[in-house]
Structure 1
Amino acid sequence: MPNRQKIGLIMNIKMILVSSAAALAAISSSQAADAIVAAEPEPVEYVRVCDAYGSGYFYIPGTETCLKISGYIRFQVNASPNAVTGGASTSGTSDWDAVTRGQLQFTAKSDTEYGPLTGVIVLQTNADNASGQIAKLDSAYIDIAGIRAGLFYSWWDDGLSGETDDIGSKVTLHNSIRYQYEADNFYAGISVDELEDGYYSAGEQPNNVGVAIGIGGKAGVFGYQVTAGYDTDNEEGAVRAMGTVAIGPGTLGLAAVYSSGPNSYYQAAEWAIAGEYAIKATDKLKITPAAQYYGNYGIVAGDFNDNNDAWKVGLTVDYQIVDNLYAKATVNYLDPDIGNDVTSGFFRLQRAF
């Protein structure tokens, strides 16, 4: 082939290659223009630990409010002759009853110029069986600068550490407002309580109101509490004193209560004394023998029964199986002067979180 023809052929091949490259570039540019470009992902805000109020709190994302979720699951078998009290039942013909409870507590805290603002909601469901269940609001209150308002337990819900003493009100959960001053080892407060679920001597249920005070604290190995309440509708009041002291391998607890007449704060007897000794046998085992004596026990015709005294003894055993899993068993014997003696108790398994 002559050189002139060879050169022409080479030039034609180059032109074809350049044209093909240009066409491919144009097609690629066109496709790139039509492509969907994914948006940049939003930054993820991870849950932050809040250690300002103790362990277990975390910041609610997007806020400066700290939240803690806690609770427990409880399985319990109650024993008592023909008077079984379960999670969703109040009486029965059997001498034993199994009940299950689930409880969730939400605690929210945030800092303010008046100190921490606290909100608490406690939800509880009790199941006597699959069809007999009761869900309820166990507590819900607001707390700031020593002022608490809402549905919460009063000082009369406190007691000794065992399961024998009977020195509190039958109903201790009220819609209330209170102020409580707190120092390192001392507190004192006053509350106004709505007592609609309380005791009524006339059998009626008016919109009853009570006023209660509470004083307590610690002094070295001693702990103490004094509680008093006045029921305005029944025009009766009650006062109670409790104290504990560490002695040997355990803690001695003593309590005394006096009631001027049956009222919403105390109605078991005109007076009572109770004592216990909580023995810390091991790091996981606590054994608590206890006793109580009632003066003028029970109510007759709207007043305490002057002809009836009673005494009660019991034993409570607490055992920590593993972290957050506990077992408790108790047995109590009550012997009144009038009426039948009663043996009762329960066994409980509880998983806390």
Structure 2
Amino acid sequence: MNIRMVLLASAAAFAASTPVLAADAIVAAEPEPVEYVRVCDAYGTGYFYIPGTETCLKIEGYIRFQVNVGDRPGNSVTRPNDSDWDAVTRGQVQFTAKSDTEYGPLTGVIVMQFNADNATDQNAILDSAYLDIAGFRAGLFYSWWDDGLSGETDDIGSVVTLHNSMRYQYESGTFYAGLSVDELEDGVYKAGETSNNVGVAFGVGGTAGAFSYQITGGWDFDNEDGAIRAMGTVEIGPGTLGLAGVYSSGPNSYYSSAEWAIAAEYAIKATDKLKITPAVQYYGNYFGGGTAVPDDFDGLGDAWKVGLTVDYQIVDNFYAKASVQYLDPDDGDDSTSGYFRLQRSF
């Protein structure tokens, strides 16, 4: 056997004794687990679970375009408007979080509002931010004095209704009653003073068949005066009749427009989409509002106001509103004002 045959035989023997090694297998990486958004129907429509938690969140809001007309339609001391019309735009978004606890639902609300009078005159504000559990609420929220009739004629609320407050409100299916302590730093003040005080308010209301009612009161400790208001609505014929009356012992942060006032309206449901609301209000010892107020209402003249508001639903979540108001005070010039509004809610 020559040398070539020896080498070939050795190579064959080595190959036969060497194990065959397979190529490494390709292993596909397992996908990361994905938690899809789940609907939370425990608190009504629109809520979903925040991924990875048992907290339910709802996002809602609106976009509004409005044209104000009349005397000083800007209606602002800090941003007066000398023309007879003014266009404004607003965007508002609300976040509501809820979760179950041993004391009942724990609720947190944040409302952000963005206003634009024009491209350079804009502001962003915290419109509300509060926590609520077992009837107890604390934070920045609107008081019962912000409530009113459905039209735009009535002037039966506070100059400022958004306060840092603490309140407790008991609620049943058709009745509620509550008490609040309100910081009134941006309320009304008298000559030579500043606005830096506190108030206590109460609210009682409910429904009884086609009738709804609310009684609201408040005492302003710094101004040492208070106000009380009663309001009710009842369904009559093709619409809803609304009546309200308010009395103030003196200018205070809860009511300062007049010593007393009565208001009435009839909201006519003309069609499923159209509502027409004529209304009227009469003031006794009319001051007219504002934050700097006189010591009392003595010697002031009366005033009356009449208006018409029209609401129309164009399509679902898209509305139009038009309102015109005429005011005639004894101690001042009469005025006409109004606005046209388009609003898309979501």
Amino acid at match of 1:306: G
Match of residue 198 from structure 1: 187
How far off its partner does 1:92 sit? 1.4
Number of residue pairs matched by the alignment: 331
Relative distance call for 1:72 and 1:239 in structure 2 (3 A) is same
In structure 2, how many angstroms separate the alpha carbons of the residues matched to 1:231 and 1:42? 59
Match of residue 340 from structure 1: 333
Q: How does 1:42-121 map to 2 (within 5 A)?
A: 42-85=32-75, 90-121=79-110
Q: How does 1:218-237 map to 2 (within 5 A)?
A: 218-237=207-226
Larger deviation: 203-212 or 124-133? 203-212
Larger radius of gyration: 1
In structure 1, how many angstroms separate the alpha carbons of the residues matched to 2:282 and 2:208? 28
Q: Where does structure 1 differ by over 4 angstroms across 4 or more consecutive aligned residues? A: none
Amino acid at match of 1:150: G
Q: Deviations over 1:258-279 (max 9, x none)?
A: 0000000000000000000000
Relative distance call for 1:259 and 1:148 in structure 2 (3 A) is same
- Aligned match of 2:256 in 267, 277, 290? 267
Match status 1:147 vs 2:147: no
Relative distance call for 1:111 and 1:203 in structure 2 (3 A) is farther
Contact 2:157 2:255 in 1 (8 A): yes
In structure 1, how many angstroms separate the alpha carbons of the residues matched to 2:193 and 2:126? 25
Q: How does 1:155-166 map to 2 (within 5 A)?
A: 155-166=144-155
In structure 2, how many angstroms separate the alpha carbons of the residues matched to 1:257 and 1:306? 19
Match status 1:243 vs 2:236: no
Contact 2:302 2:329 in 1 (8 A): yes
TM-score by structure 1 length?
0.89
How far off its partner does 1:307 sit? 3.7
Match of residue 3 from structure 2: none
Contact 2:156 2:261 in 1 (8 A): yes
Match of residue 306 from structure 1: 299
Contact 2:186 2:195 in 1 (8 A): no
TM-score by structure 2 length?
0.91
Match of residue 329 from structure 1: 322
In structure 1, how many angstroms separate the alpha carbons of the residues matched to 2:271 and 2:279? 19
Q: How does 1:162-173 map to 2 (within 5 A)?
A: 162-173=151-162
* Backbone CA RMSD of aligned residues: 2.1
- Aligned match of 1:282 in 271, 285, 288? 271
In structure 1, how many angstroms separate the alpha carbons of the residues matched to 2:61 and 2:47? 14
Contact 1:210 1:232 in 2 (8 A): yes
* Larger helix proportion of the pair: 1
How far off its partner does 1:89 sit? 5.9
Contact 2:187 2:195 in 1 (8 A): no
Q: Deviations over 1:321-353 (max 9, x none)?
A: 000000000000000111110100000000000
Task: Specify every segment of 5 or more residues in structure 2 that has no aligned partner in the other structure, as ranges.
Answer: 1-7
Contact 1:89 1:128 in 2 (8 A): no
In structure 1, how many angstroms separate the alpha carbons of the residues matched to 2:89 and 2:268? 28
Find the residue that maps to 1:156 and give its secondary structure: helix
In structure 2, how many angstroms separate the alpha carbons of the residues matched to 1:296 and 1:198? 20
Match of residue 4 from structure 2: none
In structure 1, how many angstroms separate the alpha carbons of the residues matched to 2:212 and 2:69? 33
In structure 2, how many angstroms separate the alpha carbons of the residues matched to 1:337 and 1:188? 38
In structure 1, how many angstroms separate the alpha carbons of the residues matched to 2:239 and 2:287? 33
Task: Specify every segment of 5 or more residues in structure 1 that has no aligned partner in the other structure, as ranges.
Answer: 1-11
Identity among equivalent pairs (%): 75
